[in-house]
Structure 1
Amino acid sequence: MDPRALPPRLVIDPSLPPEVALELRSSPHILRMARSGARVDTTHNPTLLFALPGFLMLVSVMAGFTGLFAVSLGFGLIVLMRWIATDSTYRSTRRRLRLAREHAARYILPEDLDYPCQMLLRRAQNAVETILNSRVHRDGLIDTIDNQVTLPEEVWQIGQRLRRLSSMHAEQGRIIPRELPPGMENAFKPYTKALDAAWTSLSRRVRHLESYAKQVLKADKVYQTHRRLEALAAKTPEYQQLIADTVRDELAQERIRELADQAAHVRKLFEESILEARLAAGELIRTPLT
């Protein structure tokens, strides 16, 4: 399946404390429970779990069946261990559910968005992933902005606005009738245009991210070529000596000059690609969503 057609990943407010963000990210099903208003079942009664083993132990004591007593004791221990594990899971789920409700506005699930907004958010996430996984980013060559901090914040800001836009789209769908009385069409147009303007602005923002990612990919390819050439450049004196020793003087000078020119050309391409990536990043700095 085309990755661009996949739903977006969970987005969490990057300003949350890391331990809280990690807790929320580790249990998306709990976040969905919090969104839907579901509750953890509190009606289970642990006493019932021990009723049968307790009854068997009582019977064995009264009847003097030591074998039955041992079996009952073993069964009781198994039930006890299972109850401890179940109770621990129950308390952990309840704690995570409480945390998810406390921070309900600080994360965005795919189902919080309508389909067009899901696809736009996914595009933004893919662009950021491309940038952060690039070699030029990891080697600190495109440090015009602090990608590790700024780009997750950018995705969060885009996601928040898309969630709001999705909600208002749904609200319009409920309020505006499918068939409008004659002459009433224009009355609703300003509201529709407002949402269209917001969508256009967010789409442009995502295109800026994608443009940045495209320039980073280009810089990455040139960077890899540049690194390979550097490995050869270290051996340039050997190549120059080989040519000087085996080729007549005029041709030797030309070939030696070509080696130097080729190294300079790739270096220039590399520097230009890094500059283009930084300029693309500058578009994000000049028009911050925040």
Structure 2
Amino acid sequence: MDPRRRPPHLLIDPALPAPISSALRASPQALRAARLGQIPRRRGPDPVKVVAIAGLLLLMASLSATGGFIAVLVLISFSALRGLGNDPEGRRERRRVRVAMEHRDRFILPEDLDGGCGDLLRRTQDATETILSSEINRARLLDTIDNAVTLPDQTWRIARKLVRLSDMRAEHNRLVPGTPPPEVAEAFTPYVKALETAELSLTRRIRTLEEYARQVRKADGVYRAYLQLQVLAERTPRYEALVAETAEDSLALPGLEHLTEQAQQVKKLFHESIDEARDAARHLLTATDS
């Protein structure tokens, strides 16, 4: 695999209750076992330990002729063997697999997708993470949609469609493993076209999401500059005093006189970039509804 191509990461239905979501996320191995229908077997006692304990108890019994002491040894041996059969970690793992099997349609593993669909899901996840982690989103400046709810939901919907596309492509390739003879190739074209159309539609939706992320990144940069200028504006008198005290008249910086005007320009640019990001969000909603 191209090292620049990163696989998608585990995706869990955002509609799941938090405790179940956390339990699924905590054990990817259990999810893979559930996908294969494999519940770990209950492990019995370690034979080596059983033989060692039994031998020790027999030795102690042979050294004592007291019936009461033998009864105590039997009780001890029963408890010891029962303790050896204890497997708390195994029970936890079986419980995780059972939970995963109960919710097998509520999570998506990287291996559930073929290479092309995996790339598309990764692009979707990257765009969503860019938006949700942006400063302007954390500052609640993107009020067109509720990103914390809408974006995970859209990512999940796209991922489900990508899984279906992957499954249908795999089925198509099993049924039609090679190139059909030229005489009948046209009969297969609608099926191939249907798969291509589905991929194109999903790709367009993902590009809309990526455009939203791009606008958010741009607005984020302007927002940081805007905040920095606000801090500098409070320090303008100090800069003016520095120039007045140290520079000759011919070296004075006329730009300081226009600091307020320049700050206003950056503020205007910031609001424009926020508006562009909001417009991109509206286009995302339109693409989702269509």
Shorter-chain TM-score range: 0.7 to 0.9
> Could you state the TM-score of these two structures normalised by the residue count of structure 2?
0.84
Identical amino acids, percent of aligned pairs: 45
Number of aligned positions between the proteins: 278
Asked if 1:33 is matched to 2:22, the reply is: no
Asked if 1:189 is matched to 2:220, the reply is: no
Instruction: Answer with 178-187 or 91-100: which moved more.
Output: 178-187
Question: After superposition, what is the alpha-carbon deviation per residue over 1:151-208, rounded to whole angstroms, capped at 9, x for unaligned?
Answer: 1111101110000000000111011251423421111111111111110011111111
Instruction: Answer with 194-203 or 47-56: which moved more.
Output: 47-56
* Contact 2:54–2:77 under 8 Å retained in 1: no
Q: Which residue of structure 1 aligns with residue 123 of structure 2?
A: 123
Tell me, which stretches of 5 or more residues in structure 1 are unaligned?
Answer: none
Assess, with a 3 A threshold, how the Cα gap between structure 1 residues 75 and 207 changes in structure 2: closer, same or farther: farther
Instruction: Answer with 54-63 or 17-26: which moved more.
Output: 54-63
> Could you state the TM-score of these two structures normalised by the residue count of structure 1?
0.84
Q: Map 1:1-290 to 2 at 5 A.
A: 5-42=5-42, 44-46=43-45, 49-64=49-64, 83-84=85-86, 87-236=87-236, 258-288=258-288
* Contact 1:157–1:289 under 8 Å retained in 2: no
Question: After superposition, what is the alpha-carbon deviation per residue over 1:2-43, rounded to whole angstroms, capped at 9, x for unaligned?
Answer: 98611000011100111101100111111111112223124x
Assess, with a 3 A threshold, how the Cα gap between structure 1 residues 240 and 37 changes in structure 2: closer, same or farther: same
Assess, with a 3 A threshold, how the Cα gap between structure 1 residues 243 and 261 changes in structure 2: closer, same or farther: farther
* Contact 1:212–1:280 under 8 Å retained in 2: yes
Instruction: Answer with 191-200 or 235-244: which moved more.
Output: 235-244
**Counterpart Cα distance in 2 of 1:260 and 1:206:** 40
Assess, with a 3 A threshold, how the Cα gap between structure 1 residues 53 and 256 changes in structure 2: closer, same or farther: closer
**Counterpart Cα distance in 2 of 1:176 and 1:56:** 66
The Cα of 1:130 is off from its aligned counterpart by: 1.1
**Counterpart Cα distance in 2 of 1:115 and 1:288:** 24
Tell me, which stretches of 5 or more residues in structure 2 are unaligned?
Answer: none
CA root-mean-square deviation:
3.1
The Cα of 1:239 is off from its aligned counterpart by: 5.7
* Contact 1:8–1:121 under 8 Å retained in 2: yes
Assess, with a 3 A threshold, how the Cα gap between structure 1 residues 209 and 75 changes in structure 2: closer, same or farther: farther
Question: After superposition, what is the alpha-carbon deviation per residue over 1:48-69, rounded to whole angstroms, capped at 9, x for unaligned?
Answer: 554531331232132259xxx9
* Contact 1:50–1:76 under 8 Å retained in 2: no
